[in-house]
């Protein structure tokens, strides 16, 4: 078996997945290919991977690191993609230009001005990678961890016949958080979640068959609980179901929490992941310096490696596909009627049953109407962005912003056009030729 990591320098995912790989396939000789365009980041993950292999008595000759992805892809059975196109300065423009117009984003990598322009930068690169996969290892299963997840998965689905799946950890991390709120062991919590990436819904939440929602409704009235997860709890109180993704990120995907200063002060009291303005700049900026210090400590053996399995689905899916215990994971796949009151051509995040040789998405049926309505608001913006990217239609990019829930709650039509034009100009050197 050969597993290839494109964007291996994204240690948040790669290190976790590598540790899961050697844990879930103990003693097996698995070839690992590491690819990154940044020699420094590639050097870190190469050293960390070799440390992982040495500590488990695996042969380092099975590790191949390269700056050229085509050298790595041939013969791959599984490919993980986790890339970032452009650095901190271009992300700064994603945040600061909309903020000047009044569109306040926390992360800005999924939808809205930041997410749509990240898609413009990233989709052509993802498609180039996928064309190489189609040529060099067309039967490989491809797992994407790159944002904006739904738009990128949709673009690939419309373009290439690959086995391409989108993976995220917001479902299982939210489930673990809810278990903590409720004082219930996480491993005993049962849940059924569906919707779209970063906006899927806990349609069922149970403990040993008992519905946990009545207890959760009591717990969220505790101010100490509410302040930890403000916007999601507000949506739960009003819409009746808990949504995936952290409160700060979640606050960007709807028109309710970030359109006025008083609402920001009320619903982002904890800052950082709870909704701090431009938190991604801190996450990718000053925090990155400490991050590289931590990487060096891991690479040189000063810091211990995590000993427990991560929350990531990726390697657990591979184990099930290879004939291990069957497994259920929430995966981003073409909707195709799985959620019947969302557009059939969109990308849905639904439970999938994984067993030897196959991934079977579950049929959901209709979402509660109030949940589907919010999903459809986001999906319509995603669809226009996809149309713009594939058709090289600038007007469709404007429309994607016009119908984005947060942007449309804050700006007039002519303001949206001016903001978009300023972003196109400021980011022109990072965009494909057709957008310059």
Whole-model pTM: value is 0.97
Query: Which residue intervals of 220-368 are DSSP H helices?
Result: 223-226, 230-239, 247-250, 261-267, 279-284, 286-299, 314-321
Distance CA 362, CA 122 (A): 29
Maximum CA pair distance of the chain? 62
Residue 85: what pLDDT?
Answer: 94
pLDDT, tens only, 108-156: 999 999 999 999 999 999 999 999 999 999 999 999 999 999 999 999 9
Strands 78-81 and 63-66: unpaired
**Active-site position among 169, 198, 207, 249:** 169
pLDDT computed for residue 13 by the predictor: 84
Each residue of 133-146: pLDDT tens digit? 999 999 999 999 99
43: domain CATH number? 3.40.50.720
- pLDDT 10s digits, 14-44: 999 999 999 999 989 999 999 999 999 999 9
CA distance 114 to 403: 14
> Residue 299: inside a domain, yes or no?
no
pLDDT at 273: 77
Q: In the chain, how many domains are there? A: 2
* Per-residue confidence (pLDDT) for residue 436, from 0 to 100: 75
Does residue 300 fall inside a structural domain? no
- 410 lies in a domain? yes
**354-408 residue pLDDT tens:** 999 999 999 999 999 999 999 999 999 999 999 999 999 999 999 999 999 999 9
Q: For 198-222, what is each residue's pLDDT tens digit? A: 999 999 999 999 999 999 999 999 9
Give me the mean pLDDT over the 316-340 stretch.
96
Do 119 and 202 lie in a common domain? no
pLDDT band at 432 (very low <50, low <70, confident <90, very high): confident
- 288 pLDDT above the threshold of 70: no
Q: d(Cα 110, Cα 378) in Å, to the nearest integer?
A: 10
Q: Looking at the domain assignment, is residue 140 inside a domain? A: yes
Residue 255: give the domain boundaries: 88-110+168-277+312-436
Catalytic residue status for 169? yes
Q: Are residues 335 and 413 in the same domain?
A: yes
Of 167, 193, 208, the residue at which a domain comes to its end is 167
């Amino acid at each position: 078996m050969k597993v290839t990591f494109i964007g291996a320098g994204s240690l948040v995912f790669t290190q976790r997945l590598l540790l899961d790989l050697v844990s879930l396939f103990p003693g097996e000789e698995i070839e690992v290919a590491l690819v990154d365009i940044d020699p420094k980041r590639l050097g870190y993950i190469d050293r960390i991977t070799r440390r992982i292999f040495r500590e488990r008595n695996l042969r380092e000759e099975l590790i191949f690191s390269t700056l050229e992805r085509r050298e790595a892809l041939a013969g791959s059975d599984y490919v993980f993609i986790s890339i970032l196109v452009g650095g901190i300065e271009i992300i700064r423009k994603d945040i600061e230009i909309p903020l000047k117009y009044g569109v306040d984003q926390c992360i800005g990598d999924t939808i809205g001005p930041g997410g749509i322009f990240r898609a413009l930068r990233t989709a052509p690169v993802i498609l180039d990678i996928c064309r190489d996969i189609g040529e060099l290892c067309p039967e490989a299963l491809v797992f994407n961890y790159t944002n904006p997840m739904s738009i990128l998965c949709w673009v690939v689905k419309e373009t290439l016949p690959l086995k391409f799946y989108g993976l995220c950890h917001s479902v299982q991390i939210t489930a673990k958080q809810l278990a903590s709120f409720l004082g219930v062991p996480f491993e005993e919590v049962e849940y059924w979640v569906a919707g779209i990436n970063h906006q899927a819904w806990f349609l069922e939440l149970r403990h040993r068959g008992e519905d946990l929602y009545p207890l959760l409704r009591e717990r969220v009235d505790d101010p100490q609980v509410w302040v930890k997860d403000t916007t999601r709890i507000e949506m739960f109180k009003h819409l009746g179901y808990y949504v995936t993704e952290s409160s700060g990120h979640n606050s960007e995907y709807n028109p309710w929490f970030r359109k006025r200063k008083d609402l920001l002060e009320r619903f982002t009291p904890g800052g950082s992941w709870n909704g701090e303005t431009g938190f991604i700049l801190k996450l990718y900026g000053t925090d990155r310096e400490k991050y590289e210090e931590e990487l060096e400590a891991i690479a040189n053996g000063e810091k211990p490696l995590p000993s427990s399995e991560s929350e990531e689905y990726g390697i657990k899916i591979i184990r099930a596909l290879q004939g291990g215990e069957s497994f259920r994971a929430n995966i981003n796949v073409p909707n195709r009627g799985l959620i019947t009151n969302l557009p059939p051509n969109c990308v849905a995040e639904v439970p999938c049953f994984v067993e030897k040789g196959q991934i079977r998405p579950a049929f959901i049926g209709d979402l509660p109407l109030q949940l589907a309505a919010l999903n459809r608001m986001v999906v319509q913006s995603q669809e226009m962005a996809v149309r713009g990217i594939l058709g090289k239609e600038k007007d469709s990019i404007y429309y994607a912003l016009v119908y984005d829930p947060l942007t449309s709650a804050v700006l007039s039509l002519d303001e949206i056009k001016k903001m978009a034009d300023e972003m196109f100009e400021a980011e022109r050197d990072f965009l494909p030729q057709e957008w310059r």
